[in-house]
């Protein structure tokens, strides 16, 4: 009885401590039974206090290397807790068997998420996150495919720590922080958290969609804190709709710019200037008895929230402060959406939050997204009006809205005018969707209508055209009585011929019809498309490709994956299509299904900067791929010829290669790592647009049978250092290869030149480039290329290349960041030395010589 009674509290202890606590209690109870009744009472009291002691001892927030979490349960998930248990790091269950790797408030009912990984993309049940020494946090799907990892500064991880301020950090051997969630916030800041210049908060897309939304909060390089929108799916910013006015002043040099945004423990939010002064945005408030968070919500408002700590079973988040004051009026985008979608109207509710609604005659394009676009419930346009064969007054009625406007959607302004004439001119204009009349002026507007809002200060009228009949019957061309009568006459003539002819003639006609159908059916069978993989790739026989290439006669090129031949395939009625046929070498000994799965992944890619796969051959030991043929050859031929290409054309090629790699890494259905980025694998089409080839083929090679005769993939001069070390191979190997190619594009010279081609100091392009950058001698790097007028862009490109070729893969940017830096969206910082360690200490000389170009 004693044992049973005192084991009951174990149900409330943490599962991971259950076995240890049970063992301790059983030992204590066993010892107590050997002593006197008085001693037994003492032990009983000790047992009653033991669960409480276990709670205090259960965690200090530290997570050892090798620990892992799994997304397994629908109603709860494993997590790592902070010492007080206020915050948890782990998998939060969302819906539909999906989980989000995140940090959340653990003691409040709604478990509000304050940070998330993997750009807000949820994962399926069975996914795992592992804490590793070299890679930090690594998120994988149930099949072991890497989805996300923490971007370490440098060094080896010793442990992780979930602190009581809501920050999850990875510690190095010297207790320095190699990575922390506070430095890469998502949509929320917590007390004690700061944001430096260039820092950004991203809103989520909706209440349940945690991927990046349209709204941004950023502390710019000029010191101003700004709220602005971007035009998805790009990060191209629009003009700001809130600003802190903390930039340096041109007229007053004594004004110090903002250096960081601070959210302190007391709940105050302010911009700290360089001279130590503060621009206070929100005074202290909230108190120690409340949880605080500052969130950029999916409706574009930056809000400070408070939630009571006491009584964890109740309470809600309340608003303490927010900006802007009226987002419906303050957010006005010259080219793009306002707070609401196209053709929608924004209204501010009593709680100062925006809501959106569609005008009469319009409805939501996506009923689940109230902030989305509205579509007209009727056909509208000049072509539709003409088909109706009616005057506009008969087709449309007018709905009148007061104090409503879409400020930037007008195409005509009429002044002076009256309200009646404004209404009439819109009715008679097939392009006009709505007319706004105010103070003797009429603005005619056409769809899509953007930045719609209700503004009581306007004193205006909005005349919206809505069709009286929303059906589409009126779009059918009107009947022509004369044509109908003529058709009836034709039918009578045809009937007279058929019924007036002899039975024999009718029989002959029917036989001819059947014979015609028979030949048409046979022709259709012959032209039926070949059997396909899941993406309509043609499956060719080896004989067909042998004939198409005239016995593999004309060789276009060769590399680690095989030899490429030019061929012609007959399409349709004798039309010849030029193709490039690649015979793969050293193909893995897989089943037919597994080979087709890999080909299917390649075939699903569709991007203007990738070479398109047309078909394949999987017959016996033969594995061939059929690509579109590009007439201008390789980038190597283009760059390293006698005539140096124009600078602007080289810039466009660099953009194209970067965008193609970004697509392979982040935008296609399955991530593809190329593993051999070099000018020979970049082709140019008839417009000299860069097209990446040979992507996705690394999985089709045997690991021990590449051109290098080692496990190394790649080509001399383009191989990332991690190939030579015991390090995981990630998409960062492609970033390294792109960095070398970018330098070649800039300089129009090969990455490795023999000494008889160039001086010894110029033999390795990466070394030469960094030396020239350090000495400020970029003209020497490009050999005084007179065509390069934009020296600022030249320097930025060189800096991007030096970031890409960092020996430490964690220092290399992602291809998304590379594209942003090349396009000037993100500032390029001064790069460190790419190779801080001597190559001889990390790469044995015999390995350097073991692989071929």
Q: How far is Cα 428 from Cα 433, in angstroms, rounded to an integer? A: 11
User: Which pair of tokens denotes residue 444?
Assistant: 């005619």
Active-site residue, 676 included: yes
Categorise residue 451: left if φ over 0, alpha if ψ from -120 to 50, beta otherwise. left
Q: How far is 239 from 564, CA to CA, in rounded Å?
A: 50
Question: Residue 37, by phi and psi: left (phi above 0), alpha (psi -120 to 50) or beta?
Answer: alpha
d(C-alpha 617, C-alpha 623), whole Å: 6
Provide the 10 A C-beta neighbour count for residue 107.
15
- Cα dihedral 35, 39, 45, 51, rounded to 10, equals -30
SS3 737: helix
Q: Which residue has the tokens 């000029």?
A: 222
Tell me which of 405, 676, 734, 785 is the catalytic residue: 676
Residue 162, class by beta-carbon neighbours within 10 Å (0-12 exposed, 13-18 middle, 19+ buried)? buried
Helices (H), 231-357: 327-330
622-628 and 575-584 as β-strands: parallel, antiparallel, unpaired? antiparallel
Structure tokens at 248: 């340096």
Q: What's the CA gap between 613 and 668, in Å, rounded?
A: 15
Q: Per the omega criterion (within 30 degrees of 0), is the bond before 324 cis?
A: yes
| Separation between Cα atoms, residue 788 and residue 406, nearest integer Å | 44
| Pairing mode of beta strands 613-619, 575-584 | unpaired
Please check whether residue 296 is in contact with residue 201, taking contact to mean a CB–CB distance below 8 angstroms.
Answer: yes
List, as residue ranges, the binding site for ATP: 583
Q: Per-residue DSSP letters for 252-280? A: -TTPPPEEEEEE-TTS-EEEEETTS-EEE
Closest CA to 543 of 571, 504, 517, 581: 581
Q: Among candidates 290, 281, 214, 210, which has minimal Cα distance to 245?
A: 281
* Annotation: binding site: 583
The two three-digit tokens of residue 801, written as one number: 């290349």
Give the integer Cα–Cα distance in Å for 495 and 19. Answer: 94
Tell me the catalytic residues. 676
């Amino acid at each position: 009885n004693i044992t049973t009674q005192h084991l009951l509290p174990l149900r409330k202890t943490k599962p991971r401590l259950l076995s240890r606590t049970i063992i301790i209690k059983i030992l204590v109870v066993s010892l107590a039974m050997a002593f006197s009744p008085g001693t037994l009472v003492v032990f009983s009291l000790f047992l009653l206090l033991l669960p409480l002691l276990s709670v205090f001892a259960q965690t200090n927030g530290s997570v050892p290397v090798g620990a892992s979490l799994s997304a397994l349960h629908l109603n709860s998930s494993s997590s790592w807790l902070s010492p007080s248990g206020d915050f948890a790091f782990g998998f939060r269950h969302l819906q539909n068997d999906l989980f989000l790797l995140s940090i959340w408030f653990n003691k409040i009912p709604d478990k509000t998420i304050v940070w998330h990984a993997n750009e807000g993309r949820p994962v399926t049940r069975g996914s795992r996150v592992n804490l590793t020494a070299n890679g930090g946090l690594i998120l994988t799907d149930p099949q072991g495919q890497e989805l996300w990892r923490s971007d370490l500064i440098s060094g080896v991880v010793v442990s992780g720590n979930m602190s009581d301020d809501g920050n999850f950090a990875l510690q190095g051997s010297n207790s320095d922080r190699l990575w922390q969630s506070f430095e890469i916030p998502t949509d929320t800041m917590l007390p004690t958290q700061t944001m430096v210049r260039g820092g950004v908060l991203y809103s989520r897309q909706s209440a349940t969609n945690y991927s990046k939304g349209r709204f941004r909060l950023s502390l710019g390089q000029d010191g101003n804190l700004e709220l602005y929108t971007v035009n998805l799916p790009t990060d191209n910013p629009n003009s700001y709709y809130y600003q802190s006015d903390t930039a340096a002043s041109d007229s007053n040099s004594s004004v110090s710019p903002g250096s960081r945004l601070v959210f302190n423990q007391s709940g105050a939010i302010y911009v700290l200037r360089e001279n130590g002064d503060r621009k206070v945005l929100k005074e202290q408030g909230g108190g120690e008895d409340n949880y605080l968070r500052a969130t950029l919500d999916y409706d574009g408002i930056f809000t400070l929230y408070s939630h009571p700590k006491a009584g964890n079973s109740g309470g809600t988040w309340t608003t303490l402060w927010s900006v802007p004051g009226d987002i419906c009026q303050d957010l006005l985008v010259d080219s793009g959406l306002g707070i609401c979608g196209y053709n929608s109207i924004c209204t501010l509710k009593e709680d100062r939050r925006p809501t959106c609604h569609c005008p009469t005659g319009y409805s939501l394009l996506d009923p689940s997204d109230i902030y989305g676009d509205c579509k007209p419930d009727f056909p509208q346009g000049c072509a539709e009006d003409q088909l109706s064969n009616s005057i506009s007054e008969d087709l449309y009625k007018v709905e009148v809205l007061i104090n409503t406007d879409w400020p930037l959607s007008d195409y005509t302004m009429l002044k002076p005018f009256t309200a009646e004439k404004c209404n009439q001119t819109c009715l008679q204009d097939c392009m006009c969707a709505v007319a706004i009349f105010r103070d003797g002026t009429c603005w005619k507007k056409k769809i899509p209508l953007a930045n719609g809002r209700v503004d009581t200060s306007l004193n205006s009228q909005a005349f919206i055209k809505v069709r009286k009949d929303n059906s589409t019957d009126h779009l059918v061309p009107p009947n022509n009585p004369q044509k109908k009568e003529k058709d009836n006459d034709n039918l009578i003539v045809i009937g007279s011929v058929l019924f007036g002819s002899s039975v024999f003639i009718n029989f002959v006609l029917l036989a001819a019809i059947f014979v015609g159908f028979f030949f048409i059916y046979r022709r259709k069978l012959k032209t039926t498309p070949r059997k396909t993989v899941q993406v309509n790739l043609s499956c060719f026989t080896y004989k067909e490709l042998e004939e198409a290439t005239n016995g593999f006669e004309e060789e276009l090129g060769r590399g680690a994956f095989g030899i490429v031949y030019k061929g012609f395939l007959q399409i349709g009625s004798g039309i010849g299509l030029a193709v490039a046929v690649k015979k793969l070498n050293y193909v893995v000994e897989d089943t037919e299904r597994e080979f087709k799965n890999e080909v299917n992944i390649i075939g699903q890619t569709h991007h203007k900067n990738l070479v398109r796969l047309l078909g394949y051959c999987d017959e016996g030991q033969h594995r061939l791929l059929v690509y579109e043929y590009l007439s201008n050859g390789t980038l190597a031929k283009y760059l390293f010829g006698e005539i140096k290409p124009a600078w602007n054309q080289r810039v466009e090629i660099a953009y194209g290669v970067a965008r193609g790699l970004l697509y392979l890494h982040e935008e296609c259905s399955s991530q593809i790592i190329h593993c051999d980025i070099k000018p020979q694998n970049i082709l140019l089409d008839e417009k000299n647009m860069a097209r990446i080839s040979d992507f996705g083929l690394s999985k089709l090679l045997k690991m021990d049978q590449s051109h290098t005769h080692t496990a190394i993939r790649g080509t001399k001069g383009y191989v990332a250092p991690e190939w030579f070390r015991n390090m995981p191979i990630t998409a960062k190997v492609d970033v390294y290869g792109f960095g070398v190619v970018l330098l070649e594009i800039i300089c129009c010279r090969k990455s490795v030149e023999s000494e008889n081609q160039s001086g010894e100091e110029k033999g390795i392009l990466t070394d030469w480039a960094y030396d020239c950058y350090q000495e400020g001698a970029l003209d020497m790097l490009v050999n005084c290329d007179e065509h390069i007028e934009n020296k600022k862009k030249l320097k930025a490109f060189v800096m991007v290349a030096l970031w890409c070729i960092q020996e430490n893969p964690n220092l290399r940017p992602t291809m998304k960041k590379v594209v942003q830096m090349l396009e000037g969206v993100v500032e390029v910082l001064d790069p460190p030395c790419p190779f801080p360690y001597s190559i001889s200490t990390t790469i044995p000389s015999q390995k350097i010589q073991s692989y071929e170009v």
